Each structure stands twice: as structure tokens, then as C-alpha cells.
Amino acid sequence: MKKKDIVKTEREFVSIINNGSCIKNRYYVIHFKENDLSHDRYGISVSKKLGNAVFRNKYKRKLRAIIDNYKKNYINCRDYIIILRKEAIDKPYALLEQEFFALMNKQEKGTTNEKN
């Protein structure tokens, strides 16, 4: 993932989470919001409750690989915050990828929980 594709600052994370929409499944919570750029941006969050730094970085790398595969197919001009849930631990990569794609396709179709 390139630097231009990353949501980094806490201010942006909070803005997307508080002012955007949200979709969920067993493995992920994805908050998203429209942006003024010509590309999507992604932020990844893995809680300290799930494991140590090595563990969290491993799952962030997996999520980045999944996102890179997803980005080849879709450009929505949105910012995304992807939060990994506890149930995703020790699941095979293929299942995590499949669930991510299903959730993003659900988001594409517009079936979301709006936050106001």
C-alpha cells in the first residue's frame, strides 16, 4: 500500500468513525466516509487486547495484502477504517479475504448502518 493510500492521523480516524457510515460482520468493522480525493484511503486498527506488537503487525500485513487485492477491482473515492475483531484470530487467510470482499461488496450495494 502506498503512503497516499493510508489514513494516518488520529483526527482523520476520529472523523471517519464519528461522521461516516459503518458495516460489520463477524471478523471486521468497517467505517467509511466519502473523501475529496481521486482514490481510496485505508486505515487499519488491531486492538492491543488481541495480542502483542508482533501479533498485531502480522494481522496488519495480512489486511494490507487483502486490501491490495481489493483495490485492483474498485475505486470509490472513500476513506475506510478497518477494525479487526477477536473472531478473526487464527482464521485462514482465504476466509479473512472472502469475508472482507463480501463486506465491501455489501458496502458497494449501499446496505449500511448510517451514523448521524
List strand residue ranges (DSSP E) for 15-107, in order. Answer: 21-24, 28-34, 41-45, 78-84
pTM of the model: 0.85
Kindly list the structural domains of the chain, giving each domain's residue range(s) and its CATH number in brackets, ordered by start: 3-101 (3.30.230.10)
Picking from 114, 87, 79, the residue whose alpha carbon sits closest to that of residue 25 is 87
Each of the 116 residues of the chain gets a pLDDT tens digit; together they read 677 778 888 898 999 999 989 999 999 999 999 988 888 889 999 999 998 999 999 999 999 999 888 877 777 788 999 999 999 999 999 999 999 988 988 887 765 555 44
Identity (one letter) of the amino acid at 4? K
